[in-house]
Structure 1
Amino acid sequence: MTRTVLLVDDDMMVREALGQTLELDGLTVIAAGSYVEAKDHLLAGFPGVVLSDIRMPGKDGFALLQQAQAVDPDLPVILLTGEGDIPTAVRGMTEGAFDFLEKPCDPNTLLSVVGRALQTRALVLENRALRAKAQTGDAAARLLIGESGLAEELRAQVRAAAATNAEVLICGEPGSGTSKIAEVLHLLSGDATRPFVKLAAAGLGAEDLLAGVDRAEGGTLFLDEVGALEAGVQYRLLDLLDQPGNWRMVAGSYRDLEVEHQADRFNADLFYKLDLLRIRIPALRERKEDIPLLFRHYVSISSEQAALTPPEIGQDAIAQLMAQDWPGNARALMNAAMRFSMGLGLGQMDSPQDDAGLGLAEQLAQVERSLLMDALKRHGGGASAAAKELKLPRKTFYDKLARHGIRPEAFRG
């Protein structure tokens, strides 16, 4: 974590006393006696925080606060005053000071406030570094986050597959990101403006498949969970793949299609056609060293989307994340990051979410998931009967199952 403090005070004795307190706590102190001395240290990437007296000869602490904000609006500035009057404190906080301390300052209070400011600064710089990394390199480097050997191997597989026009089968557990891999493949394969068409295989009819192929002309057709295709549609897809066409087929599956075709649940010829190039996404539990980086990335995105200040991610939180097996993989980690960004903590990672504190959309999603599962339970996994009971069109019903990761076969027998 960033451990630098720019300490600004025109009184040498006060400056030395404060500096000693900070240095004894292991902090690096840059001392300055005036606005002029301090302003040269104010850079957009300054690796620390500012602790400044308000009343100084020449330009005062408020001027320094304004300069800091002009250079970097996210740079925390803590203001010190010997007066402790309310109007001064109000002005400081209104103008964007991180906090306000009265001199003489209690050492414990000083270190507590500076510590919070440093944690905030460290998180800002970390998020900036993540965003910068996400904007450099090719699509695999930007979008497939991870520093483990397995993450690098995955990126290499995707790049190699993208260099060809052959069919690709992407295999991974639920929530592992088959759609993301398919999108990266498409982006790496050439002109990103070409169409990328994603279809959920569950409940897909032959006409829907044909329409998807037409829309994917010149680009990529991605069939999500291809193992759920009905037998007749499997034959139709095989016919389409045997015909000349200006589109690329990419399929995703969390099922083992080799086992499925051996059990006569999936067309063997179609399996061998799709299995020309196979990309396996490692489960999150296999690359746990990537969890902290991924979680910070998801927290940054969630906080930005919700216009929230990213919360501090302490070592206790990281340890709790690393202790999980994450059967829901990246999707589950992303959901945990979203809850964490909303201030809901990590306490319910392994248990169903209580409705309290959740937004309307999340509560409705929970209700919908429960209704779908209850209907399937009542009908022994019979999707058609469950869809009829819920008065849903068959395709809509299957789309909802796919969205919630619900498998009808899990309710059979």
Structure 2
Amino acid sequence: MTRQVLLIEDDDALRASLAQTLDLEGISVIPTAHFVQARRTIRANFAGVVLTDIRMPEKDGFDILALAQKVDPDLPVVMLTGEGDVPMAIRAMKEGAYDFLEKPCEAEHLLGVLNRALTHRELVLRTRRMERLMQRSDPASVNFPGETAASKTLRADLRAVAETGRHVMLLGDLGVGKRVAAHTIFTLSEGRDHFQIVRAPEIDPQQFRLESGAVDLSVRSVDQASEAQIACVLAAVQKRDDVRLIASAQRNVATLADLECVTVHVPSFAARISDIGVMFESVLRHAVRNRSLEMPIIPDEVIRSLEERDWSENLLELRAFANDFLENQTTENKTLAQKLDDYERGVLEETLRKHKGKATQVAEVLGLPRKTLYDRLARYGLRPRDYQ
């Protein structure tokens, strides 16, 4: 990790002196005199520590500390003051400061504190990298984050059913993530070649064909299928030993009883409401990546508002909320072309939701050739299957 310190000091001479001291120790310094400049640098996973004066005009060191705690509670903040007193020191430590030093401070003592803080920061970031690597190897944790009993049970069920290789019935309300759960099972399973998705009410029994190799057949909305469509699915699955059915529905389907499917219940957002903050962050990160933007800070009041909603449309509603939030964060300095792009994206998303991701209907309603529609969707990172 690069050894760096964000130095916030409004006294030009002292800032230059401190920067020189740190530079001689081999520490990279990001010097600044103002809260506004510091805010641009303080981000989650900032690879360094903060050294800030307390008494500054307008925003002071405690404002810096509050910002750091909000963005990343594990970011060490060392506070300096020329007018230190016991109550101020107690307040600093109580509010999460890594250490509290009085000016003038001996260089050896200052460097000792900063080196310990840097070592601590390096350990925190290394641990986070290891956790991310572990999560990336576990699609269940990535796709269904959270610490509620409902989320933990769902992850355990998905892992267990992936190991059995048996047919699966995913039950849950509209938009709870059954499509994501089906793909998670496929990803967790070994020896599967293809993940083939069909929507049961749209199956043409005369045209339906399975891909070759070991196939996980994800049949969505199977409770809305006709008898002929169910019979088509059963015939295809029972004909080959290398096909696993992963059906999804809002209610059980008795005609699939012969397959002895393992049932996995995908809980509603109401059952996972304590996880809504981390779920929102996950969806927001996906939206940020699609638009090549920087991850914004999520205010506490936004998290509170998330917890107070009923989320009747579950994942579709959460995605819409994330896009609106991101739009509000980035609108202020946008050019006309960017605003027009945002409008087009909004129209595409609204039409996809209205027609449940049916690309043919969306293209017809918008008066676009299908190829043009798919080009526009690709431009904004939109996928019709996310709205089905």
| TM-score, scaled to structure 2 | 0.62
Residue 245 of structure 1 corresponds to 241
Amino acid at match of 1:343: N
Task: Report the alpha carbon displacement of residue 174 of structure 1 after superposing the two structures with TM.
Answer: 1.5
* Aligned mates of 1:59, 1:326 — CA distance in 2: 54
CA RMSD of aligned residues (A): 4.7
Match of 1:55 among 13, 16, 20: 16
Q: CA deviation at 1:123?
A: 9.9
Q: In the alignment, which residue of structure 2 is the partner of 1:296?
A: 281
Letter of the 1:214 partner, please give it.
Answer: E
Distance 2:268 2:15 in 1: 54
Q: 1:272 maps to what in 2?
A: 257
Label 1:390 to 1:191 Cα distance change in 2 as closer, same or farther (>3 A). same
Query: Following superposition of structure 1 onto structure 2, how do residues 295-334 of structure 1 map, counting pairs within 5 Å?
Result: 295-334=280-319
Residues 136/403 of structure 1: CA separation in 2 closer, same or farther (3 Å cut):
closer
Q: Shift of the alpha carbon at 1:139?
A: 2.9
Which secondary structure state, in structure 1, belongs to the residue aligned with residue 247 of structure 2? strand
**Cα pair 1:148 1:287 within 8 Å, conserved:** yes
- For the pair 1:229 / 2:215, whether they are aligned, the reply is no
Is residue 2:320 matched to residue 1:335?
yes
CA-CA distance at 1:157 after TM superposition? 1.4
Q: State the match for 1:366 in structure 2.
A: 350
Q: What does residue 33 of structure 2 align with?
A: 80
1:257 aligns with 2:252: yes
Counterpart contact for 1:168–1:249, Cα < 8 Å: yes
Whole-Å separation in 1 of the counterparts to 2:315 and 2:125: 19
> Which moves more between the two structures, 165-174 or 221-230?
221-230
CA distance in 2: counterparts of 1:300 and 1:390, whole angstroms: 29
Q: Is the 8 A contact 2:144 2:279 kept in 1?
A: no
Residues 355-379 of structure 1, C-alpha deviation per residue, up to 9 Å, x if partnerless?
Answer: 9994412223325656x59xxxxxx
Deviation at 1:60, TM superposition (A): 6.6
Q: How many residues matched?
A: 304
State the distance in 2 between where 1:367 and 1:244 align. Answer: 38
Q: CA deviation at 1:113?
A: 4.9
Which amino acid is 1:365 matched to? E
1:105 aligns with 2:100: no
Q: How has the CA–CA distance of structure 1 residues 364 and 204 changed in structure 2, closer, same or farther, with 3 Å as cutoff?
A: same
Q: What does residue range 80-229 of structure 1 map to in structure 2 within 5 Å?
A: 80=33, 105-106=56-57, 108-113=59-64, 115-116=66-67, 118-122=69-73, 133-136=131-134, 138-191=138-191, 194-210=193-209, 213-215=210-212, 217-229=213-225
The change in CA–CA distance for 1:229 and 1:386 in structure 2 (over 3 A counts) is farther
TM-fit CA distance, 1:391: 9.5
CA distance in 2, matches of 1:329, 1:168: 22
Say if 1:146 and 1:326 are closer, same or farther in 2 by CA, change over 3 A: same
Q: CA offset at residue 147 of structure 1?
A: 1.1
- CA deviations on 1:162-215 (whole Å, 9 max, x unpaired) are 1222210111111111111111211222136x21111222322124432xx234
Contact 2:201 2:229 in 1 (8 A): no
Q: Give the 3 Å change call, closer, same or farther, for CA 387–365 of structure 1 in structure 2.
A: closer
Distance 2:150 2:387 in 1: 27
Between the aligned partners of 1:286 and 1:134, the Cα distance in structure 2 is 25
Tell me which amino acid in the other structure corresponds to 1:257.
Answer: N
Amino acid at match of 1:172: G
1:331-381 alpha-carbon deviations (Å, 9 max, x no partner): 322332233233359xxxxxxxxx9994412223325656x59xxxxxxxx
Task: Give the match's secondary structure for 1:235.
Answer: helix
Question: CA contact under 8 A between 1:169 and 1:274: conserved in structure 2?
Answer: no
Quick one: distance in 2 between partners of 1:368 and 1:287?
Answer: 26
Per the alignment, do residues 187 and 369 of structure 1 end up closer, same or farther by CA in structure 2, a change over 3 Å counting? closer
The one-letter amino acid of 1:246's match is D
* Residue identity matched to 1:312: I
Contact 2:352 2:362 (C-alpha < 8 Å) held by counterparts: no
Residue 276 of structure 2 aligns to a residue whose secondary structure is helix
User: Do the aligned residues in 2 keep the contact of 1:202 with 1:402 (CA within 8 Å)?
Assistant: no
Amino acid at match of 1:136: M
**Is the Cα contact below 8 Å between 2:140 and 2:155 reproduced in 1?**
yes
Q: Distance in 2 between matches of 1:115 and 1:311?
A: 17
Long gaps (5+) in structure 2: 43-49, 76-120, 331-338, 374-382
Once the two structures are overlaid, the 10-residue window that deviates more, 296-305 or 274-283, is 296-305
Partners of 2:299 and 2:384 lie apart in 1 by: 36
Structure 2 distance, partners of 1:248, 1:301, is 29
**Cα shift at 1:236:** 1.7
Mark the structure with the bigger radius of gyration.
1
Q: Which runs of 5+ in 1 are unaligned?
A: 1-40, 70-76, 82-91, 259-267, 346-354, 374-384, 406-413
| Identity fraction in percent | 18
